[in-house]
Homo-oligomer: A and B are copies of this chain.
């Protein structure tokens, strides 16, 4: 459907998108004709532009302005015209120095990565840790806060720490907690949280698990702790870069955008989806987050270590973002983060 563009049509569409990405203003026929000694007159360009508009790649805000790309226009541009340049050594270094600054929390590392993405791309960086359910269990610890309140700390294979407050019906002694902890750590190590849940459910069904009161309690406790799924942590950095973008000059729209960032749940959904695919994915405009934020595009990639996908990261910017710049940044960063969260498990075996 979109291959019915001849050489000249492609060149002109590319020129318009390129220009519009840097200027943010409608591009006229004269500008295209002059640009890079493309030897055709403005009048000819106008004819082609008119065709492109009819095909849905361009739109004109009003009669006497130039043309701007439609979402479909960007889509074609990204899919068929874009030349992806490599990162310079300097850029790579900048990303690395951001992500490796000293002794960090895993959460901090992800947050710093978000900042790196933002500062290199000049748009907003977004990094999501995995949904808890999809992580691989490594270790569990219980901390008794009061008679009826326990703090449960999980550590995933990748080193992500998740904690939860739970209320219990009976008072556990430190000794009991220790035994429960040991039992669970032995039983569950290496399973995904999803499997852990299933295992707990099935063991509790079978009577054989019940002969030992402690074991039963252990299962009950961990079941309780896993009851509600904790949404993946999500870090958005550099959202302020949207302020100043001319297309978001209207306060109302800007407010919607920031509220969407604060709410996060929609974003989690979207990133969840992109987690399955590998490599860089690009969501343009309304194609991304169901009508919530207009005019925004998203470049994402999942990152993984030897155990599989850990999470997703990317950049959110206006539709009119510099894809050729952003795509390699996201790609490189995803690989780097995957490597940094390598657990060395491979060497252990």
A interface residues, Cβ below 8 angstroms from B: 102-109, 138-139, 141, 143, 145-149, 151, 153, 155, 159, 161-167, 224-225, 227-228, 230, 237-240, 243-244, 249, 251-252, 254-255, 258-259, 261-262, 342-345, 347-348
Contacts and interface: CB of A to CB of B under 8 A. Distances in A.
Given A251-B249, A255-B244, A161 B165 contact: no
A208 to B, nearest CB: 28
- 8 interchain residue pairs of minimum CB distance: A146-B344, A240-B258, A243-B255, A161-B163, A145-B343, A151-B159, A143-B155, A240-B259
Contact of A102 (B102, B103, B228, B344): B228
Contacts of A143: 138-139, 155, 159
Given A240-B258, A343-B145, A161 B166 contact: no
Contacts of A258: 239-240, 243
Contact of A139 (B141, B161, B164, B345): B141
A238 B146 CA distance: 33
B162 A344 contact: no
B240 A255 contact: yes
A240 B262 contact: yes
A205 B107 CA distance: 33
9 contacts: A103-B167, A106-B151, A108-B230, A141-B141, A145-B159, A153-B155, A240-B258, A243-B254, A243-B255
Contacts of A165: 103-106, 109, 159
A302 to B, nearest CB: 20
A105 B239 contact: no
Contacts of A147: 344, 347
Nearest to A108: B230
A109 B230 CA distance: 13
Contacts of A146: 342-345, 347-348
A129 to B, nearest CB: 13
A162 to B, nearest CB: 7
A151 B145 contact: no
A28 B65 CA distance: 45
A155 B161 contact: no
A163 B249 contact: no
Contacts of A166: 103
Contact of A262 (B167, B239, B255): B239
Given A104-B164, A237-B262, 12 more contacts: A103-B167, A106-B151, A107-B163, A108-B230, A146-B345, A151-B159, A159-B165, A161-B163, A240-B255, A243-B254, A243-B255, A243-B258
A118 to B, nearest CB: 9
Contacts of A238: 262
Nearest to A344: B146
A151 B108 CA distance: 13
Contacts of A224: 103
Nearest to A224: B103
A168 to B, nearest CB: 11
A254 B241 CA distance: 11
Contacts of A262: 237-240
A143 B238 CA distance: 32
